[in-house]
Structure 1
Amino acid sequence: MQLLALALYHRDGRPTPRVVRFRPGALNILTGESETGKSEILDIVDYCLGRSTPNLPDEPIDRTVGWYALLVAFHDSRMLLARPRPAGASTTQAMIRTGGDTLDLPRADELTPNSNVAALRSQVSARLGIEDFRFQPPTGAARQAFDVSVAQAALLCFQNQNEIADKKALFHRQTENGIAQTLKDTLPYFLGAAGPEQALRRHHLNEAQRAQRAAQRKLDDAHRHRDAVDASGVALLRLAQSEGLLEEVPPAPGPEEIRALLEQALTVTVSTVGPVDLTDRRQGLTDERRHLREQLQQFDEALALVDRWQKQGEAFTGELHLQLGRLQTINLLGPERDYETALCPMCTRPLEEPDASAAEITTLTAQLAEELGQAQGIQPIRDEHRRSLQAERAAVVERLKVNGAQLRELTTNDERMRNLQDQHVRIARIQGRIDQALTAGTGSPAGDIGELRNNLVLAQENVATLQALIDEDDVAAEAERRLADIAVNMTAWARRLDLGQAASADEVAISLSQLNVVVRRPQGRLPLNRIGSAKNWIGYHMVAHLALHTYFRLHRRPVPGFLMFDQPTQAFFPAKIKDATTVQDADWNTVTAYFELLKDVADLNEGALQIIVCDHANLTEEPWFQDAIVENWRPLDGQRKALIPNDWLD
């Protein structure tokens, strides 16, 4: 695939596009002053080939252009690849046309989206001969699988002005996230060191390794399940032993022994003891105890009353004895006992109230003596009543003791029955768990583990077989061998340009691991980033890509047959140059040598390689250089010439 024309269509729909035409199979030079849009040519071509995130400048291109179109040629056909100006950060719209040698750029009114970027890449990839396969990253890689297409091949066809002078990166967009790994993954295919067969084998290997991991997981899960079942079985055996279902359990029983013991524990039957209703018996004893306590309280109150009577009787008889003793002294009087009671015995004067006579006192004494006798006669009856109450009380106390003992026995029996019932419940639960464990364990003992182990062995053998096939392919070694073939031209052309370290180098090559140029010397390998001077960085970039594309063309690899360089002579001119032709003291001999190499490589490929260069330089004394110019954007008759026409900016 080579470029025939690039067209820009105005946003207002004017019929005449801005067209830049290229010559296939030759050196194409687009020269001119700075800030005329030369560098944008590469970005526009990249966008038309399907890049979803364009890198187009805002002004003045974005302000004026509505559509971009690229006309490309294949061996026996042509294809139009057109894309509208992106409305935002990206777009997927596209327009595709295919035809023969007469297919040309469309009119402005014919531009309309009829496809998308994915279809564009697919059709271009098919015409390039890129085989339809999906690259599978190695097992465990974090990156995703992707379809190999022109999107990866195009990375080998561009060198913008920043990339061609980069001492750390060799390829287009290499410093962007994920692009370097994509180059490492796909460059062996574009070199011919790997193909769909290897990708398919790696895909099968990935699937086989996934199946092996799944088989290993299943086997590990089965082992863990069996170990868990064994541990659970041993725990159940210990519980069964503690409840008397088993007499003895070995310290470390095997799986079969565990199962046999569990089955034995399951066959043990335990007599069921139904619940006994002791409520009535307990209620009767409780009522009896309450009645006895009431009787005991009554006896205690009766005894207290008898004691109070006793104390009161003792006080009464004591007073009677005292008074009687006093009254009995009257018997000691003689004749004077019959004195006049109405007169004072001392002064014989009359008393207001007469004293009692001796006869009256004697009568009162007799009465008191009689009452005292009666009181002393009641005491034996009271004592007998107390003894009777105490005997009856003692009987009640004894009956209370018996009642308490009966209640305690009843409580003990009740607790014993509850414990027995609880034990039966525990045994039933244990046997239920044993039955569940035996039922769950019937599906995966040693037989299933043996089958899973056989499946794992088969999966491992399949992985080993596929790995052996991939090892036989040895894609990395084959890629290095092909890069060594490319290094032959790289070394010769680096010496031709007199690049630094090239004269003493054994070989100048591309390192697939570093994605950069490496100079191999007797002292050791020297990467490009350790070689000074922008002149050398640009020179090594040029010889690497020229040699790489020469190899692609020689071996008919599915890579577009064009190579675009932007500002390859920038190292020989000031940083902000307006026009290189105005610089008198530049190293024009080296500049000429660079362009001569480009022309010779294009001629060497005999029309199979198209080289497009955008640069400030214009070698006016070299006829071959002038013949290679397709656009010269320098003022002519006072009129500015650039990618965007002057009338578009009005």
Structure 2
Amino acid sequence: MPKVEEVSQSLRKVSDQLEGIYRDSPHIQRHITGLEGEIARATEALKFVQTELNKAIMEDQSAQARQDQMIARGRFAGRLSEFLESIAPRSADDSGAIQIAELRDLIAGIRSRLNNDETESRLETILSFISDKMTEYSKLLNLEHSGSSLRLDLKKLTVVANTVDGPIPLNRMGSGENWVGYHVLSHLALHWWLRKRERPVPGFLIFDQPTQAYYPPDSTEGGLDQIEKDDDRTAVQALFRLMSFACSEITPDFQLIVLDHAHLKDDWFGSAIIQEWRGQNALVPYSWPDK
């Protein structure tokens, strides 16, 4: 692929030749022939750029490298477009007019493709960071496919685990424990990115009874001793530890509100309790309906 400086030198050379064309009409055909040659070479260079762009999209390269390449190609297309604007033929009958028009159309198409690819590349980069954080959080929970490469499927709006046996969507990941766990870690990963980039999204998240499935219906105190299975008690502890760890990462100005039945005996859990509503001490006092 020719360097930008080499292309610039070629364009300046063509510009100098064109000045001679308009001054010396008896030799205009010879200069037009030279111009056609330069246009043909520039067209081949643009086709090469197009080929390289398609290859870059297909190859699994880093997002930054692809972005740098697209910026360089955009500059090349811009400079070539400026050159074409400066050498407009005197009449529509000039032999180079048709080729120049075709070249302009080609440049316009490439510019449109570059803009679309840049948007897609940025989105892929963002999703890659969020997917890495989701995978990291999943290692703190004992879930099905925990530790596998996780990602968000924007078309189906679901979580997908990439495994050696192929992609597995959330609805095929088994129990409700998996669904709750993956929903929690996905929301935390999204807010981690939003706060990291200071995006204009409210910096709070509310979870309503994420551990409800683990407790019997008649449970009153929320202690782990009210959960029958050892695995379920471990899962409840792990879920709250993940929330605590994520809150320490998602800074600044982030608040996680959890409305839940659970009551762990750990000091870090107790320090996070703002208000405890149990028995007669209810969020909506029992006396209110009577009044």
Residue 630 of structure 1 and its aligned partner are, at CA, apart by: 1.3
Kindly provide the CA deviation profile for residues 315-347 of structure 1, in whole angstroms up to 9, marking residues without a partner as x: xxxxxxxxxxxxxxxxxxxxxxxxxxxxxxxxx
Please tell me whether the aligned partners of residues 519 and 525 of structure 1 are also in contact (alpha carbons under 8 angstroms). yes
Please tell me whether the aligned partners of residues 550 and 609 of structure 1 are also in contact (alpha carbons under 8 angstroms). no
Higher mean C-alpha deviation, range 461-470 or range 550-559: 461-470
Look up the match of 1:602: 247
Look up the match of 1:528: 170
Look up the match of 1:641: 281
Residue 469 of structure 1 and its aligned partner are, at CA, apart by: 5.1
RMSD: 2.4
Instruction: Say which SS state the counterpart of residue 275 (structure 2) adopts.
Output: strand
Give the Cα–Cα distance (whole angstroms) in 1 for the partners of residues 146 and 283 of structure 2.
Answer: 38
Please tell me whether the aligned partners of residues 497 and 539 of structure 1 are also in contact (alpha carbons under 8 angstroms). yes
For 2:134, give the aligned amino acid.
Answer: M
Aligned counterpart for 1:498 among listed residues 118, 133, 142: 142
Look up the match of 2:235: 590
CA spacing shift, 1:533–1:630, aligned 2, 3 Å: same
Give the Cα–Cα distance (whole angstroms) in 2 for the partners of residues 606 and 467 of structure 1.
Answer: 38
Give the Cα–Cα distance (whole angstroms) in 1 for the partners of residues 112 and 277 of structure 2.
Answer: 57
Give the Cα–Cα distance (whole angstroms) in 2 for the partners of residues 524 and 478 of structure 1.
Answer: 25
User: Greater relative contact order (Cα 8 A, min sep 6): structure 1 or 2?
Assistant: 1
Give the Cα–Cα distance (whole angstroms) in 1 for the partners of residues 144 and 117 of structure 2.
Answer: 39
Verify: 1:480 aligned to 2:124, yes or no.
Answer: yes
Alignment of 1:88-167 (within 5 A): none
Residue 470 of structure 1 and its aligned partner are, at CA, apart by: 3.3
Kindly provide the CA deviation profile for residues 203-240 of structure 1, in whole angstroms up to 9, marking residues without a partner as x: xxxxxxxxxxxxxxxxxxxxxxxxxxxxxxxxxxxxxx
Give the Cα–Cα distance (whole angstroms) in 2 for the partners of residues 589 and 623 of structure 1.
Answer: 17
Identify, as 1 or 2, the structure richer in helix.
Answer: 2
Give the Cα–Cα distance (whole angstroms) in 2 for the partners of residues 589 and 465 of structure 1.
Answer: 55
Higher Rg of the two aligned structures: 1
Look up the match of 1:519: 161
CA spacing shift, 1:466–1:641, aligned 2, 3 Å: farther
Instruction: Say which SS state the counterpart of residue 632 (structure 1) adopts.
Output: coil
- Between the two proteins, the alignment pairs up a number of residues equal to 183
Give the Cα–Cα distance (whole angstroms) in 1 for the partners of residues 270 and 130 of structure 2.
Answer: 30
For 1:589, give the aligned amino acid.
Answer: T
Instruction: Say which SS state the counterpart of residue 630 (structure 1) adopts.
Output: coil
Residue 520 of structure 1 and its aligned partner are, at CA, apart by: 0.4
CA spacing shift, 1:482–1:606, aligned 2, 3 Å: closer
Verify: 1:556 aligned to 2:201, yes or no.
Answer: no
Aligned counterpart for 2:268 among listed residues 605, 615, 624: 624
For 2:258, give the aligned amino acid.
Answer: V
Kindly provide the CA deviation profile for residues 385-443 of structure 1, in whole angstroms up to 9, marking residues without a partner as x: xxxxxxxxxxxxxxxxxxxxxxxxxxxxxxxxxxxxxxxxxxxxxxxxxxxxxxxxxxx
Please tell me whether the aligned partners of residues 204 and 257 of structure 2 are also in contact (alpha carbons under 8 angstroms). yes
Question: Moved runs in structure 1, 4+ residues, more than 4 A?
Answer: 460-466
Please tell me whether the aligned partners of residues 130 and 190 of structure 2 are also in contact (alpha carbons under 8 angstroms). yes
Please tell me whether the aligned partners of residues 219 and 226 of structure 2 are also in contact (alpha carbons under 8 angstroms). no
Residue 633 of structure 1 and its aligned partner are, at CA, apart by: 0.9
CA spacing shift, 1:463–1:578, aligned 2, 3 Å: farther
Residue 502 of structure 1 and its aligned partner are, at CA, apart by: 1.9
Instruction: Say which SS state the counterpart of residue 631 (structure 1) adopts.
Output: coil
Q: TM-score normalised to the size of structure 2?
A: 0.57
Look up the match of 1:545: 187
Residue 498 of structure 1 and its aligned partner are, at CA, apart by: 1.9
